[in-house]
Amino acid sequence: METNEILANAGNISLNQAAPSDHSKLCEIWPKVKEGLQLLSAVIKNPVVKAVISTVIAAGDAVTKQLCG
């Protein structure tokens, strides 16, 4: 699944039952985690690893959009 597909289907990402009640820490740290992943991606040459990092970022954006508003 490509990053655009992940973001377009953000509402369809299933979360475990604890996620809605225990999401404040994720909402708080996601911007810094995303920044770190972007920096990591910038220094890595391997296109497969870069694609995986992109997918993790897209999933994180989608989940935090769903949980954090």
Predicted confidence (pLDDT) per residue in 4-34, tens digit: 776 676 666 666 665 556 678 889 999 999 9
Q: Is 33 exposed, middle or buried (0-12, 13-18, 19+ CB in 10 A)?
A: middle
The whole-model pTM stands at: 0.77
Residue 1 pLDDT greater than 60, yes or no: no
